[in-house]
């Protein structure tokens, strides 16, 4: 949560860069993303960090990797910068913008490959007998944020521009109205719950397919997510709507809006 807040506070400066410098700002952000990826590759090799939880990982390496990668907001900036660029491109796009058929096919194929790389390229690390390789870990750590960001941004862009009607229809399922509103609270509350559960159960357990989903943890997280959403998120959103409505519907006298 701390790293999220740091990135939120930093993002307006990148938005200002795009607003003032436009094409130069876009190139600058792409360059920053590239440098961040190279730096992550370097730091993973130097410190022998793990970018995935592989079979047999030690507690020391696990904690060290968390401190250097997951709790350092600099190492998590790439997806945020990708989101800012996506918002910029959606804002400046021509309303009738359409990719050519060949570009759409190639882009979608690349996005699907990026999705596969993000979730399945390191699946062999979960197999018993896996031997840690710092270069493999560094390559995945550097490329995974770029690949996942491109995949998500591509499909959002073609959906918004009306070039993926089938996906749009699937994403318009009404059940997503509930899950999307609970998603952020669910994300925030799951981490402390997981930490508490790990502390309560320090002994190793026998793995089984049914043990992947702990219903007690899931139900506890879901109930707390609903509670946080109703207690904090909805009231804050309602306050924002009231303030925004007041700002956009101020009385006008003699053709001049009153400040």
pLDDT digits (tens, 9 = 90+) for 57-80: 888 888 899 888 888 888 889 999
Compute the half-sphere exposure of residue 258: CA atoms within 13 Å on the CB side of its CA: 7
User: Cα dihedral angle (248, 253, 255, 259), rounded to 10 degrees?
Assistant: -50
- Structure-token match 């060290």, residue found: 64
* Domain residue extents for the chain: 1-172, 174-202+209-248
pLDDT at 3 (0 to 100): 74
> CA angle 240-84-170, nearest 5°?
80
Which one is predicted more confidently, 135 or 183? 135
pTM of the model: 0.78
Q: Residue 115: pLDDT above 90?
A: yes
Helix (H, G, I), strand (E, B) or coil at 257: strand
**What's the whole-number mean pLDDT along residues 90-113?**
91
CA distance 7 to 149: 16
pLDDT at 235 (0 to 100): 84
pLDDT at 199 (0 to 100): 65
CB distance 7 to 73 below 8 Å: yes
128-169 pLDDT tens trace: 888 999 999 999 999 999 999 999 999 999 998 888 888 888
């Amino acid at each position: 949560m701390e790293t999220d807040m740091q990135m939120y506070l930093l993002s307006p400066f990148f938005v200002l860069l795009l607003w003032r410098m436009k094409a130069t700002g876009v190139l600058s952000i792409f360059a920053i993303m590239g440098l961040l990826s190279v730096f992550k590759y370097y730091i993973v090799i130097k410190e022998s960090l793990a970018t995935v939880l592989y079979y047999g990982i030690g507690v020391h390496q696990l904690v060290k990797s968390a401190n250097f990668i997951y709790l350092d907001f600099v190492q998590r900036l790439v997806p945020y910068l990708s989101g800012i660029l996506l918002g910029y491109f959606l804002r400046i796009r021509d309303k009738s913008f359409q990719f050519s058929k060949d570009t759409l096919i190639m882009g979608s194929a690349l996005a699907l490959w990026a999705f596969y790389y993000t979730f399945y390229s390191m699946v062999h690390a979960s197999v018993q007998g896996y031997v840690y390789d710092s270069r493999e870990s560094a390559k995945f750590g550097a490329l995974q944020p770029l690949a996942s960001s491109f995949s998500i941004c591509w499909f959002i862009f073609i959906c918004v521009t009306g070039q993926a009607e089938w996906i749009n229809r699937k994403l318009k399922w009404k059940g997503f109205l509930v899950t999307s509103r609970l998603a952020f609270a669910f994300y925030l509350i799951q981490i402390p719950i997981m930490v508490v559960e790990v502390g309560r159960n320090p002994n190793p357990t026998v793995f089984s397919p049914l043990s992947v989903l702990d219903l007690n943890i899931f139900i506890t997280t879901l109930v707390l997510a609903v509670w946080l959403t109703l207690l904090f998120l909805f009231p804050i959103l309602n306050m924002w709507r009231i303030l925004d409505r007041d700002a956009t519907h101020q009385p006008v006298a003699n053709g001049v809006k009153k400040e």
